[in-house]
Structure 1
Amino acid sequence: MNNVSYIHEVMNDVAIVLAPLKSRLKSERRFIDALLHIFSSVTDFRQQLKVIYKLENILCICLLIAMRGKFTSFYHAGLFIKVRTDYFKNLGLIEGDKIPSHDTLRRIFLYIDADELRDCMLNRIRDMLDKITAAVQESGNKVRLLSGDGKTFNGSGRTDGTRNVNVFNVLDASGSLCLASIPLEDKDSEIPTFKRLLKKYKLKNTMVTGDALHCQIDTMDIIHSRGGDFTFTVKDNQPGKKQHIIDVLKFNAAKCKLVSYNNCDYEIFVIDYELTEEDFPHAAAYVRMISHKRAAQQDYNPTAQYFVTSSPNIRLIVEAIDSRWTIECCFHWWKDDFLKEDDCTFMDKNAIKVMATFNNIAFSLYRIASAIFDDSCMAETRLRFEECPEKMLAKLVPLLEKQNLTMLIKQNMRGRKKTT
């Protein structure tokens, strides 16, 4: 195993291009204007003659509150605006004595198009990352990691028996971009939702991962038809398939590749026979993995885990398995620990989707800032900016403007060779 990764971590490219310039990434006073321009593409559902507050101003205010981890209810968000009115006035987001109330925030969250809100920022961030990646290396042979997993909004239930809403997220873990957040009634609804979303994406040079719930033949067929690869966990909910993998690995033990990677031991058999009805469709390898990452814990009790993958590439397989829980251990954890998403008390599904979208945007921005400032972890970036997210936005938002970014990349890459 060499140091060249098959699964492309875009934030490494961001650090290569922008970290050397971090001291010269000056805060732009006009970043608010640029941010308002980005948010202005979201359709305003309100009757214009009755509008008191510009929608883009409110969306900008909501993002600033979310980036502090303070948006857990409309009441608390409205109270934050009231207490910090001078702060928002200094940024030009509030004029005079017109202060948006929690009822105003609630109405906007109930009716705006969360997908438009997502795309207005996601597309800008994705364009920026694509430009940086293209400047650093020829990444055509790199593989992005796409993961699907559900996350419960634990504050959305009620004592009357109303269950918490489950939100299914699709994360481009390589670029730290959440492509979709869909509120669902229950866990089982994740399966058809994931299938529907996968049909929308171009999956060339993409490894799709998911837990055992998504180890479905139909899902595998969709991924294969879209030009992608998959790596799924196989558990006891499919006892016949799991036992078949165990038998295949045992029978072909002499042919298995033994690999140790990041405190995990892998036994990998690249399938060399014609697939039968007992095999998963499009399967290229079966894997047995034992993790030793908790060896220092008192409850350490390593057990074998089994996987099916459509890729015969050993290095890609172990990286995909090792990175499959980025969506839970990094993305979901960050949203709960810092952004306090579990404390969100909304019940309406559109409001939950809008809140998840704001938190997704906040996560991406913090992740990019972490790469730029070469922080060892996002917790350092959090300490740097949680009380002043406007300072982080003042550095990042100008980079979302194509002209500024192009000039910056050319300045930093002049005289340097692309890496491969």
Structure 2
Amino acid sequence: MNKFKSIFSKINDPRSDINKLHNLEDILLIGIISVICAADSWKDMETYAKAKVDFLRSFLDLPNGTPSDDTFNRVFSSIDSEQFETCFIDWVSNLIDITAGEVIPIDGKTLRGAKSNGKKSPFHMVSAWASKNNMVLGQVKVSEKSNEITAIPKLLELITVKGCVVTIDAMGCQKAIAETIIKQEADYILAVKENQKQLHQDILDEFRFGKTIDSHTDEDLGHGRIETRKCSVINDFKFIEDQDKWTGLESIVKVESIREFKNSDKPTETATRYYISSVKTDAKALQKMIRLHWGIENKLHWVLDVAFSEDASRKRAGNAAQNFSILSKIALNLLRKDKQTKQGLKGKRLKAAYNNNYLIKILGIKV
């Protein structure tokens, strides 16, 4: 907890001196603790703080009692979100141990509830996920007048990926992004679609005429379906134009999937996906790495919507949506760090709300 306080104390207080009834550190920590304990709104934060004021006083100052929902709203709406994100990334780097070969998927998610008057939501976050650690490494907001292509390099500059394999969908299949990853002494697997028309066509030609192709097939049975996936890899390719401009390029990959549904009239689904990679290994290993990319969808984005109600959130004032997203990810990381409690995240959040001893364990504090 001392390390946590020292990192987040770097955030500038946006309030004027006459409005400082509560310490910024107390507001930040109550915000984080209440979100761990199932708070999904500013009013929830106020309710939790009032109910647990004696417990909170055991490790917080609270010179003027607990903040109101308006105070939480004003503070988290005005805190510099880039500072908050930087502190979050700094804190995560002290929380987990990234080992060589870890797959780090990067993907974006729109905060759909933040839209107003039928307009497109202005809040789109790009996050990095540590597959082995099962935690969020960091996030950055995509600029309203930009897209993920500019946000991904910014995120890569903030996190440590040395020795890891970074996986990104087709939006991130850019020469500059590949170069950035290699410069950080990491490897990449980038999905290729027709946004890279020439590269996509070259890969099609390579698999059509290539002779030295390594392949691996596996089957996944469950949930009333059978999914067969064949991964094919070419390391010695001849038809890729300007391949030297794709820094570190070693492999091109094709994944063909067939999904059949048992006891159902639903038609068979087929899909073919293509990738480029700086990893030179066999088809079995590459197939495993590519499969791990979907962890960011299933274990982060889906969980944020289901367990933390992120898509239902209507926060949109100032930096509120962006900063509340960070609070949710801090809570998610701390709850995921607990490997002993055999409950889902919703159950863990409620347990932390009811049981101070469990919450202390999650926070790693001494009171």
> TM-score per shorter chain, which class?
0.7 to 0.9
Task: Please say if residues 125 and 139 of structure 2, whose CA atoms lie closer than 8 Å, have aligned partners that are also in contact.
Answer: no
Q: 2:352 aligns with which of 388, 395, 411?
A: 388
- Whether the 8 Å CA contact 2:256–2:271 is kept in 1: the answer is yes
Contact 1:35–1:60 under 8 Å retained in 2: no
The SS at the match of 1:331 is: helix
Q: TM-score, normalised by structure 1?
A: 0.72
Query: C-alpha distance in 2, partners of 1:35/1:278?
Result: 45
Shift of 1:205: 0.8
- Percent same amino acid at aligned positions? 20
Q: Match of 1:207?
A: 165
SS of structure 1 residue aligned to 2:364: helix
> What is the CA–CA distance in structure 2 between the aligned matches of 1:368 and 1:156, rounded to whole Å?
29
SS in 1 for 2:270: coil
Residues 56 and 289 of structure 1: CA distance in aligned 2, closer, same or farther (over 3 Å): same
Give runs of aligned pairs for residues 175-254 of structure 1, distance below 5 A: 175=133, 176-185=135-144, 189-253=147-211
Which stretch shifts more, 353-362 or 291-300?
291-300
Q: Say if 1:299 and 1:87 are closer, same or farther in 2 by CA, change over 3 A.
A: farther
Match of 1:127 among 94, 97, 107: 94
Which amino acid is the alignment partner of residue 398 of structure 1? G
Task: Name the structure 1 match of 2:320.
Answer: 351
Q: What RMSD in Å do the two structures reach over aligned CA positions?
A: 3.2
User: What secondary structure, in the 3-state scheme, does the structure 2 residue paired with 1:339 have?
Assistant: coil
How far did residue 67 of structure 1 move?
2.1
Q: After TM superposition, where is structure 1 displaced by more than 6 Å over at least 4 residues in a row? A: none
1:113 and 2:71 equivalent?
no
For 1:97 and 1:222, the matched residues in 2 are separated by: 48
Determine helix, strand or coil for the equivalent of 1:304. strand
Stretches of structure 2 that go unaligned for 5 or more consecutive residues are: 221-228
Structure 1 residue aligned with 2:70, among 87, 97, 103?
Answer: 103
Deviation at 1:211, TM superposition (A): 0.9
Write the distance in 1 (CA, Å) between the matches of 2:83 and 2:147.
23
> What residue in structure 2 maps to residue 51 of structure 1?
20
Pair 1:289–1:49, CA change in 2 (3 A)? same
* Residue type at the aligned position of 1:337: V
**Would the aligned equivalents of 1:122 and 1:361 in 2 still touch at CA under 8 Å?**
no
Aligned partner (choices 285, 289, 294) of residue 251 of structure 2: 285
Amino acid at match of 2:256: I
Give the corresponding residue for 1:361.
330
Q: Give the whole-Å Cα distance in 2 for the aligned partners of 1:271 and 1:349.
A: 51
1:349 and 1:332 map into 2 onto residues whose CA distance is 23
Q: Which amino acid aligns with 1:318?
A: Q
| Letter of the structure 1 residue corresponding to residue 334 of structure 2 | L
- Compared CA separation, residues 234 and 126, structure 1 to 2 (3 A): same
Report how far residue 165 of structure 1 moved: 2.1
How far apart, CA to CA, are the structure 1 residues paired with 2:178 and 2:79?
Answer: 34
What residue identity is the alignment partner of 1:306? Y
Partner of residue 319 from structure 1, selected from 288, 296, 316: 288
Classify 1:363/1:262 alpha carbon distance in 2 versus 1 (closer, same or farther; 3 Å): farther
Aligned-partner Cα distance in 2 for 1:295–1:238:
33
Q: Is the 8 A contact 1:114 1:350 kept in 2?
A: yes
Residues 208-234 of structure 1: CA deviation (Å, up to 9, x unaligned): 111111111221122222222111111
> What is aligned with 2:276?
308
Which runs of 5 or more structure 1 residues have no equivalent in the other structure?
1-30, 134-138, 402-420
